[in-house]
């Protein structure tokens, strides 16, 4: 990584200075956290976190596309007791063993390296999530270990109601034994489900990282889950002769850090691997649910269901993978039609307002995730700012529900959202064909 310039060094000093909870005076919406984070973080870190791939078209469209969907307010309805609480269900919904009440259908999407923004890293985020009783997704590329984050969560969960929920996110490594050992560790540590990210056989080209020379993790940060510090990881590493994953992701061989870390991933992955993970979860993983994350077409949504997905997650990786693909929210309708209620659908990408959440739920998502805003909040004020961000989105969602005449999440309907009449909106012949193959 290039030497940071003096401006960056100055910003480094500011990162730790969070004692004044400035966000309470300065942040009135999600974007305010981004503005403040940009001032506080070193340029290379900020750009690593905030950017998309190539030209950033999909990154931008993820957000702009929400503006082309319009809410349909219904008036004079009983909305005295707005409740954002809901139950996250999996598979066909008949699985009572894996059915989790949450305070709202918003979760923190798995995304790596939280400690770049706050020393407590994912432990800070999980505490904020659990205090708010929303779901937390831990990335395989976290900077606090699977077990550490689980303990931070447990400490909070005793006092929370409904009882909180964390999921672990897996990439398929070239080292498949290591992949399984990580998943088994997560399940042993109490994670209640697995996100399998399927859109990352390579990472998109993060041009700004190449320009900034951001091609390794700034010390002392590490992808700690790859550390060989417990018996099962040590055994897996010896068996597969691959103890040096940190040398791969920090090799500085390529121009951007993500391109170095992608070298650990299996490129030769197919739907058979999704079935393999599903079988693993059924046989050794207490049957915990599998969320297939990174679906952007009706065709793949059908294949994901056929491979055993308990949730299909529409995501373009926050615009960080294939630039020039559609916004997540615009893909949601075709996926909803293809899946036809067989399993729930989740989405992330571009959520910045309570109204965005309401639009996604009206279009058929059962829950939505946020990624980048969490990093911005962490950089601004650690756990306290993440709590504030979650609270802000919950309040905005409640207001949007009230003005749309909706008291409960279960009452949100497709009729609460529409396209502008000038946009045509029809099911295409290909979508019809895909749907009929289910």
The contact set with ligand GLV (CB under 6 A) reads: 112, 258, 317, 320
- Which residues 6+ apart lie within 8 Å of 19 measured at CB? none
- Which residues 6+ apart lie within 8 Å of 221 measured at CB? 113, 115, 116, 143
Q: How far is the CB of 195 from ligand GLV (least distance, A)?
A: 11
Active-site residue, 317 included: yes
Nearest Cα neighbor of 54 from 218, 231, 237, 208 is 208
Residue 140 has what DSSP assignment?
Answer: T
Decide whether 33 or 257 has the Cβ nearer to ligand GLV: 257
Distance CA 118, CA 128 (A): 13
Strands (DSSP E) found in 83-224: 86-88, 100-102, 106-108, 135-138, 166-170, 194-197
Distance CA 129, CA 136 (A): 6
Q: How far is the CB of 413 from ligand GLV (least distance, A)?
A: 34
Q: How far is the CB of 261 from ligand GLV (least distance, A)?
A: 8
Decide whether 112 or 333 has the Cβ nearer to ligand GLV: 112
- Which residues 6+ apart lie within 8 Å of 432 measured at CB? none
Decide whether 320 or 359 has the Cβ nearer to ligand GLV: 320
Q: How far is the CB of 236 from ligand GLV (least distance, A)?
A: 22
Alpha helices, DSSP H, located in 142-288 = 146-157, 176-188, 207-212, 231-240, 245-249, 257-261, 271-284
Decide whether 89 or 141 has the Cβ nearer to ligand GLV: 141
Decide whether 90 or 214 has the Cβ nearer to ligand GLV: 214
Q: Using alpha carbons only, give the angle 197, 200, 202 rounded to the nearest 5 degrees.
A: 165
Q: How far is the CB of 399 from ligand GLV (least distance, A)?
A: 31
Decide whether 255 or 320 has the Cβ nearer to ligand GLV: 320
- Which residue reads 């700004």 in tokens? 208
Structure tokens at 120: 């407590």
Q: How far is the CB of 209 from ligand GLV (least distance, A)?
A: 9
Q: How far is the CB of 321 from ligand GLV (least distance, A)?
A: 7
Decide whether 86 or 125 has the Cβ nearer to ligand GLV: 125
- Classify burial at 15, counting beta carbons within 10 Å of its beta carbon; exposed 0-12, middle 13-18, buried 19 or more: buried
- Which residue reads 């020379």 in tokens? 213
Find the catalytic residue in 23, 114, 141, 317. Answer: 317
DSSP 2-42: PPP-HHHHHHHHHHT--TT-THHHH-SSHHHHHHHHHHHS-
Helices 176-188 and 271-284, axial angle in degrees (round to 10): 40
Decide whether 258 or 398 has the Cβ nearer to ligand GLV: 258
Q: How far is the CB of 393 from ligand GLV (least distance, A)?
A: 22
- Which residues 6+ apart lie within 8 Å of 163 measured at CB? 100, 101, 157
HEC sequence for 381-428: HHHHHHHHHHHHHHHHHHHHHHHCCCCEHHHCCHHHEEECCCCCCCCC
Nearest Cα neighbor of 121 from 350, 349, 392, 386 is 386
**For the chain, how long is the longest CA-to-CA vector?**
67
Nearest Cα neighbor of 345 from 318, 370, 364 is 364
Using CB atoms, what's the residue nearest to ligand GLV? 320
Please identify every residue annotated as catalytic. 317
């Amino acid at each position: 990584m290039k030497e940071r310039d003096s401006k960056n060094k100055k910003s480094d000093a500011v990162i730790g200075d969070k004692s004044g909870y400035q966000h309470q005076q300065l942040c009135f919406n999600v974007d305010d956290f981004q503005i403040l984070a940009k001032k506080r973080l070193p340029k290379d870190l900020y750009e690593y976190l905030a950017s998309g791939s190539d030209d950033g078209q999909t990154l931008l469209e993820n957000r702009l596309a929400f503006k082309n969907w319009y809410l349909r307010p219904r008036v004079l309805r009983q909305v005295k007791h707005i409740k954002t609480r809901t139950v996250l269900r999996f598979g066909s919904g008949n699985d009572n063993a894996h059915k989790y009440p949450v305070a709202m259908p918003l979760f923190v999407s798995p995304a790596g390296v939280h400690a770049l923004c706050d020393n407590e890293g994912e432990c800070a985020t999980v505490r904020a999530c659990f205090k708010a009783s929303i779901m937390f997704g831990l990335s395989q590329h976290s900077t606090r270990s699977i077990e550490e984050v689980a303990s931070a969560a447990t400490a909070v969960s005793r006092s929370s109601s409904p009882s909180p929920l964390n999921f672990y996110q897996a990439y398929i490594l070239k080292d498949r034994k290591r992949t399984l050992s990580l998943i088994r560790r997560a399940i042993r540590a109490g994670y209640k489900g697995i996100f399998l990210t399927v859109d990352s056989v390579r990472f998109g080209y993060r041009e700004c990282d190449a320009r900034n020379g951001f091609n390794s993790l700034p010390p002392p940060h590490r992808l700690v889950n790859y550390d060989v510090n417990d018996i099962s990881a040590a055994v897996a590493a010896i068996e597969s002769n691959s103890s040096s994953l940190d040398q791969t992701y920090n090799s500085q061989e390529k121009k951007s850090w993500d391109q170095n870390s992608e070298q650990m991933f299996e490129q030769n992955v197919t739907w058979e691997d999704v079935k393999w993970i599903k079988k693993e979860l059924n046989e050794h993983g207490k049957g915990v649910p599998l969320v297939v994350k990174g679906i952007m077409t009706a065709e793949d949504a059908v294949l994901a269901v056929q491979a055993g997905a308990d949730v299909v997650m529409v995501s373009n990786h926050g615009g960080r993978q294939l630039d020039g693909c559609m916004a997540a929210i615009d893909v949601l309708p075709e996926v909803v039609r293809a899946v036809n209620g067989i399993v729930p659908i989740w989405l992330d990408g571009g959520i910045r307002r309570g109204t965005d959440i309401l639009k996604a739920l009206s279009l058929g998502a059962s829950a939505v995730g946020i990624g980048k805003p969490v990093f911005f909040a962490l950089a601004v004020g650690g756990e306290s700012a993440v709590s504030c961000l979650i609270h802000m989105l919950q309040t905005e969602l409640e207001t949007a529900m009230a003005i749309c005449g909706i008291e409960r999440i279960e009452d949100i309907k497709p009729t609460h959202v529409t396209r502008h009449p000038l946009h045509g909106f029809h099911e295409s012949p290909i979508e019809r064909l895909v749907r009929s193959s289910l």
